[in-house]
Amino acid sequence: MEPRFTVHSRYNEQEAIRFNRALLFNVWHIKKTIIVSNIALLFMIVTSLIAHNYMFAISLVFALAVFNWYFFMGVDLKAARAYHKNKQIHDQEFVFCFHDDQYESTTDDGTTTSVPYSTLHMIIETPTNIYIMHAPTVGTIIQKGNCSAEFIEFIHEIKNRYKI
């Protein structure tokens, strides 16, 4: 059967980092945790300054800096390390063939996998990518730059039809 759409996508370190960020901010809703934690730390800093407890305020400023560094830089470093540990996926080229009821993924080495849309966990769309999630932390990365407007509309149809 002839596919409706064929899309090429390359998996590299930058895509692995973007995928990790998409999971953190769209699936695990870590953004709320970061905002609440920052507000709490800022409140504690102001309270410490009002009470003239400057050493405690300085240590809280340090904690605030470390906390934010971890969530905005440390998480990216962990994703990059995980990418580099798996040598089989470095700069792997994927060809995705989308049909009406499933899609097929073919790698550089010829490995082909078929995935029915009915088994998908969710589809996450960001400004740069589409992530077709098989499980809460496992998914397929499709770069939007390689996609037509018709394909993106097709993904929206799949999302609505299967309520994912």
78 and 47 housed in the same domain: yes
pTM, full prediction: 0.84
| pLDDT, position 62 | 97
72 and 99 housed in the same domain: no
Supply the CATH number for residue 118's domain: 2.30.29
121 and 139 housed in the same domain: yes
| pLDDT, position 76 | 94
Domain boundaries, position 125? 5-12+90-162
| pLDDT, position 156 | 97
| pLDDT tens sequence for the chain (164 residues) | 799 999 999 999 999 999 999 998 877 778 888 999 999 999 999 999 999 999 999 999 999 999 999 988 998 999 999 999 988 888 899 999 999 999 999 998 889 999 999 999 999 999 999 999 999 989 999 999 999 999 999 999 999 999 99
What are the residues facing 11 on neighbouring strands? 92
58-93, pLDDT tens digit by residue?
999 999 999 999 988 998 999 999 999 988 888 899
How many domains does the chain fold into? Answer: 2
134 and 73 housed in the same domain: no
Residue pair 102/115 in contact by the 8 Å Cβ criterion:
yes
**Domain termination site, one of 85, 112, 131:** 85
| pLDDT, position 55 | 96
| pLDDT, position 88 | 82
43-55, pLDDT tens digit by residue?
999 999 999 999 9
26 and 81 housed in the same domain: yes
CA atoms within 13 A on the CB side of 164: 24
Judged on CB neighbours under 10 Å (0-12, 13-18, 19+), 120 is: buried
